[in-house]
A and B are shown apart, each in its own frame.
Chain A
Amino acid sequence: MADIMTTPPAPEPAAAKPSPPGRYARFRDSDLLASFLSSKLTMVSAFISVAMILGALLATWIAPTNPFDPASVDLMNSLYPPRWVEGGDTRFLLGTDNQGRDLWSAILYGMRVSLIIGIVGVIIAATLGIGLGLLAGYLGGRVDALIMRVADIQLTFPAILIALVIDGVVRSVFQGLGREQTAFSVLVISIGLSFWVQYARTIRGSTMVEKNKDYVHAARLMGVPAWLIMIRHVLPNVIGPVLVILTINLALAIITEATLSFLGVGLPPTQPSLGTLIRIGNDFLFSGEWWIVAFPGLTLAIFVLAVNLLGDWLRDALNPKLR
């Protein structure tokens, strides 16, 4: 009883998929496609997400300058406003920051950094969560109790607080090393450790259902070792719902990274992410250089909103109850 009240109910176990995978997959895809095409908002957000991801990935080719390369940055060019504003320079579409970096290039590269950290962080979280969820669901008993208790405790605290604490801890462990080298690992580890709980709970729930099915019993009778059953047989059947969590978590992870960088415990100004750019820009808000904070902020906001909308749509589209 207490568990029900202290923690949100575990997500519904995934429905069994008895039909042959090929036809089922095709059926679901067509269904997904139909629901995708019927929602303009979803299409717009998908377009924006894809365009932004492409822009970030192709930053090296699209961006006029490389903001990471000190040779391309000239302090004499600092604090130019955007091109269309009076005093703007035609070389700098969105203006420059205090170090003379072209803001448009910095945003493209910053997007890339944010995206990579978000994706790697989410992959770590998902791997950890799926692994622990499988173990907890399949083995049950004490292992289950231990893992889920830790998950419960972690869930009481907001992810950003946990990420901050882990950040602090990892930083004190890495203290001797320079911040430049460790910032990336610190962020990725913090995000990975902050977001695993949701995966673990989802996977555990469906694993508990799957492990009593005949195919698992059969595999066990044939003497297949437990770890192989978990990975080869149970995992493919429980992985479905993780997709939705992945999308929504990507937005969350990017926000977390941006927040940590904004708070000054993330990436240093020499390898700026969107959060770092916003942090730099925030200092110039009062002296009238609004563009340094406005464009990175807008980029982050639009990207997060688009990914969120996409995640919402995916959740509804994959939920058979809402069809």
Chain B
Amino acid sequence: MLAFILRRLFQSALVLLCVGVIAFALFRLVGDPVNQIVSIDTPFEQRQQIRKDLGLDDPSIVQFGRYLVKAARFDFGISYQFRQPVSTLIGERMPATLELTFMAALLSLVVGIPMGVYTALRRGSFLSGVFMSVSLIGVSLPTFLIAILLRWIFSVHLGWLPSFGRGQVVNLGWWSTGLLTVSGIKALILPAITLGLFQMTLIMRLVRAEMLEVLRTDYIKFARARGLSDRAIHFGHALKNTLVPVITIAGLQLGSIIAFALITEYVFQWPGMGALFLGAVQNVDIPVMAAYLLLVSFIFVVVNLVVDILYAVVDPRLRANMQAA
């Protein structure tokens, strides 16, 4: 077990290092940073002095090391666009993104699992057919179309829900939350549904497939033979055994939720990190791009690591395999 964790830790560190190299290389692509600081008639000696002060004449590897050390302290430099430290910008927007992704993930689990169970147990029913068709649409429609559709129906036509922004937020220390005000919660509904829909359909299909598989196994037949109630069989035995892969996939999908949050944030003008990153891509704001990249890959790597380890903890068969290996 320990060897496994260590190996995974090493792999994770390698991934982060690669992303770090890419992030660092981004700065090199856009030319000489000194030119962006000085004016055209700055004498050569002064340019050399600035270059030296900034450490730009050190070997690349030294500069890279310096960048990584700074990044580890959340110092990502100054945004070209906003002339503010990148860490401040990201810190301001992080709560919005995290609240949105968390609600979307919660929604997809809370709705997706029961829908999956239902479609597995009542395979031929009308409602199952409806669920399956909805899931097909959810899987194949691009996120931004779903967002536009929801905005059109619920904001333009019905006027029930706001179409952009976070509503009123309450500051709890450095964390600004929209969950404590009515307008904040109202503003969260549409983006969360947009973001959660794809994951929801994925989870529903997964739960359905796993349930169908489990319901065919011998121990379910045995449970039936023992005369247990349907309820006990379906929820006590079958569902419990389907949840392991569901949790894994849900965890691994957290990454794509973050990626799709970008699109959702853009459509709903949600003041999160994704919108910040998108603006950075449009305006070639390298420090913000690099920081977002590092941060997101850090989240990915940590989530993947935790899921892998949890998986091994939850599933005894895997642990046995690992010891054998």
> Which of A's residues lie within 8 Å of B, judged by CB?
1-2, 5-6, 149, 153, 156-158, 160-161, 164-165, 167-169, 171-173, 175, 251, 255, 258-259, 262-265, 278, 282, 285-286, 290, 293, 297, 300-301, 304-305, 308
Chain A binding surface, main DSSP class: helix
Add 5 more A-B contacts to A172-B286, A290-B156, A304-B140 (CB < 8 A). A5-B311, A157-B297, A158-B255, A165-B281, A165-B293
**Measured between alpha carbons, how far is A168 from B283 in the docked complex, in Å?**
9
A-binding segment of B111-119, B145-153, B227-235: B145-153
Max chain A Cβ within 10 angstroms of own Cβ: one of B137, B145, B267: B145
- Taking a contact as CB atoms under 8 Å apart, the answer to whether B281 and A265 are in contact is yes
Residues from chain B with Cβ under 8 Å of A286 in the complex = 156, 163
A-binding segment of B185-193, B218-226, B256-264: B256-264
Max chain B Cβ within 10 angstroms of own Cβ: one of A2, A160, A278, A285: A2
- Taking a contact as CB atoms under 8 Å apart, the answer to whether A285 and B284 are in contact is no
Residues from chain A with Cβ under 8 Å of B87 in the complex = none
- Taking a contact as CB atoms under 8 Å apart, the answer to whether B259 and A305 are in contact is no
Residues from chain A with Cβ under 8 Å of B280 in the complex = 168
**Measured between alpha carbons, how far is A264 from B283 in the docked complex, in Å?**
11
Q: Which residue of chain B lies nearest to A279 when distances are taken between CB atoms in the complex?
A: B144
B99 to chain A, nearest CB (A): 20
Q: Which residue of chain A lies nearest to B15 when distances are taken between CB atoms in the complex?
A: A153
**Measured between alpha carbons, how far is A276 from B128 in the docked complex, in Å?**
36
- Taking a contact as CB atoms under 8 Å apart, the answer to whether B308 and A259 are in contact is no
Q: A259-B143, A297-B148 are in contact. Are A171 and B284 (CB under 8 A)?
A: yes
Residues from chain B with Cβ under 8 Å of A285 in the complex = 148, 151-152, 156
Q: A175-B30, A301-B141 are in contact. Are A5 and B308 (CB under 8 A)?
A: yes
Q: Does B142 count as interface, using CB distance less than 8 angstroms?
A: yes
Residues from chain A with Cβ under 8 Å of B311 in the complex = 5
**Measured between alpha carbons, how far is A161 from B296 in the docked complex, in Å?**
10
> Which of B's residues lie within 8 Å of A, judged by CB?
4, 7-8, 11, 14-15, 18, 22, 26, 29-30, 136-137, 139-145, 148-149, 151-152, 156, 163, 255-256, 259-260, 262-263, 266-267, 277-278, 280-282, 284, 286, 289, 293, 296-297, 300-301, 304, 308, 311-312, 318, 321-322, 325
Residues from chain B with Cβ under 8 Å of A2 in the complex = 4, 7-8, 11, 308
Residues from chain B with Cβ under 8 Å of A290 in the complex = 152, 156
**Measured between alpha carbons, how far is A167 from B284 in the docked complex, in Å?**
10
**Measured between alpha carbons, how far is A80 from B278 in the docked complex, in Å?**
32
**Measured between alpha carbons, how far is A304 from B163 in the docked complex, in Å?**
26
- Taking a contact as CB atoms under 8 Å apart, the answer to whether B262 and A278 are in contact is no
- Taking a contact as CB atoms under 8 Å apart, the answer to whether A157 and B259 are in contact is yes
- Taking a contact as CB atoms under 8 Å apart, the answer to whether A263 and B142 are in contact is no
Which 9 interchain pairs have the tightest Cβ spacing?
A168-B281, A158-B259, A161-B259, A158-B256, A255-B142, A308-B140, A172-B284, A305-B140, A172-B30
Max chain A Cβ within 10 angstroms of own Cβ: one of B142, B156, B325: B142
Residues from chain B with Cβ under 8 Å of A160 in the complex = 259-260, 262-263
Residues from chain A with Cβ under 8 Å of B262 in the complex = 160-161, 164, 263
- Taking a contact as CB atoms under 8 Å apart, the answer to whether A282 and B145 are in contact is no
Residues from chain B with Cβ under 8 Å of A175 in the complex = 30, 284
- Taking a contact as CB atoms under 8 Å apart, the answer to whether A157 and B144 are in contact is no
A196 to chain B, nearest CB (A): 16
A115 to chain B, nearest CB (A): 16
Residues from chain A with Cβ under 8 Å of B140 in the complex = 251, 301, 304-305, 308
Q: Which residue of chain B lies nearest to A256 when distances are taken between CB atoms in the complex?
A: B142
Residues from chain A with Cβ under 8 Å of B4 in the complex = 1-2
- Taking a contact as CB atoms under 8 Å apart, the answer to whether A156 and B260 are in contact is no
B255 to chain A, nearest CB (A): 6
CB pairs A–B below 8 angstroms (26 shown): A1-B321, A6-B11, A156-B15, A156-B255, A156-B297, A156-B300, A157-B296, A158-B255, A168-B26, A169-B26, A172-B26, A172-B284, A172-B286, A175-B30, A262-B263, A264-B278, A265-B282, A282-B267, A285-B151, A286-B156, A286-B163, A297-B149, A300-B142, A301-B140, A304-B140, A308-B139
Q: A1-B4, A167-B281, A172-B286 are in contact. Are A304 and B142 (CB under 8 A)?
A: yes
**Measured between alpha carbons, how far is A297 from B267 in the docked complex, in Å?**
14
Q: Which residue of chain A lies nearest to B157 when distances are taken between CB atoms in the complex?
A: A290
Q: Which residue of chain A lies nearest to B256 when distances are taken between CB atoms in the complex?
A: A158
Residues from chain B with Cβ under 8 Å of A259 in the complex = 142-144, 263
Q: Which residue of chain A lies nearest to B26 when distances are taken between CB atoms in the complex?
A: A169
Q: Which residue of chain B lies nearest to A153 when distances are taken between CB atoms in the complex?
A: B15
A11 to chain B, nearest CB (A): 18
- Taking a contact as CB atoms under 8 Å apart, the answer to whether B29 and A169 are in contact is yes
**Measured between alpha carbons, how far is A225 from B18 in the docked complex, in Å?**
34
- Taking a contact as CB atoms under 8 Å apart, the answer to whether A168 and B156 are in contact is no
**Measured between alpha carbons, how far is A19 from B239 in the docked complex, in Å?**
46
A142 to chain B, nearest CB (A): 15
- Taking a contact as CB atoms under 8 Å apart, the answer to whether A297 and B156 are in contact is no
**Measured between alpha carbons, how far is A301 from B296 in the docked complex, in Å?**
29
Residues from chain A with Cβ under 8 Å of B151 in the complex = 285
